[in-house]
């Protein structure tokens, strides 16, 4: 079983839709959770960083962590064509090793 | 926020030559840097982990004599692809882990370096 599972998509939504991206994980020791956005031929860009369970909101983005279910989500409200990218979840317990999902490819259609 | 600068962004070289890629943390000290390789439409593949002042730890299957990693200071790590061959053509990305409660458990990535070996 992989440490982190993420549906690769592709996911295609109309502009303005709410997008839900998810990852599940197997290691209950993970405490720090990240979401990255990666445009084609660019390095991943940190979108959200959360510690332990709960929600965190930043503009149109909301990150949720449910440690009891080992499940994390990223919601994008009012999606824009510029949100079209690959989204990677990542997590760690100590910061010595980071575990990544395979990424979900998102296309927002104008 | 934390910024990692990676250069060059794109390099073309002839087969048999060596190429050096630099990764710098601009506004924080990076105790640990990670080097990844990424093939088109695939996820990140960890190549090695480097800690400042010590030898890099390579992932299984990664040739340490081909991919030389040096982490000489808290703000600079380099990856040298030695005797490059066309199969080494790929997208290489570095990332850095900072210090303290806010920086030690999150990675900041460079913009990546596209290597094409002719």
Question: pLDDT for B51-95, tens place per residue?
Answer: 888 889 999 999 999 999 998 888 999 999 999 999 999 999 999
Residue of A6, A43, A102 to mutate for B, most B C-beta atoms under 10 A: A43
pLDDT digits (tens, 9 = 90+) for B38-50: 998 888 999 999 9
Q: Which residues is A106 bridged to in the sheet?
A: A11, A85
Touching check for A36 and chain B: CB below 8 Å?
Answer: yes
pLDDT at position B101, please?
Answer: 65
CA–CA gap between residue B118 and residue B110 (Å, rounded): 25
Contact A103 B43 (CB under 8 A): yes
Touching check for A61 and chain B: CB below 8 Å?
Answer: no
Is A82 buried (19+), middle (13-18) or exposed (0-12) by CB count in 10 A?
A: exposed
Asked whether B69 and B78 are in contact (CB, 8 A), the reply is yes
Q: What is the mean pLDDT of each run of 10 residues along chain A (110 residues)?
A: 88 97 95 95 94 92 95 98 97 89 96
């Amino acid at each position: 079983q992989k440490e982190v599972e993420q549906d690769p998509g592709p996911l295609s939504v109309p502009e303005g839709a709410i997008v839900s991206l998810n990852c599940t994980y197997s290691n209950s020791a993970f405490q720090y959770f990240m979401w990255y956005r990666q445009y084609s031929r660019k390095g991943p860009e940190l979108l959200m960083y959360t510690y332990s369970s709960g929600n965190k909101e930043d503009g149109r983005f909301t990150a949720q962590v449910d440690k009891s279910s080992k499940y994390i989500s990223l919601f994008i409200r009012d999606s824009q064509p510029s949100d079209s990218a690959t989204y990677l979840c990542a997590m760690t317990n100590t910061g010595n090793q980071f575990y990544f999902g395979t990424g979900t490819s998102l296309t927002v259609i104008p | 926020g934390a910024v990692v600068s990676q250069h060059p962004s794109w390099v073309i070289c002839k087969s048999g030559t060596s190429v050096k890629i630099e990764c710098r943390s601009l506004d924080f000290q990076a105790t640990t840097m990670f080097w990844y390789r990424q093939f088109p439409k695939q996820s990140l593949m960890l190549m090695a982990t480097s800690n400042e002042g010590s030898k890099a730890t390579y992932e299984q299957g990664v040739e340490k004599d081909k991919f030389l990693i040096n982490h000489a200071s808290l703000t600079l790590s380099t990856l040298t692809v030695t005797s490059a061959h066309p199969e080494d053509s790929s997208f290489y990305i570095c990332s850095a882990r900072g210090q303290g409660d806010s920086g030690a458990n999150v990675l900041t990535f460079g913009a990546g370096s596209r290597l094409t070996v002719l």
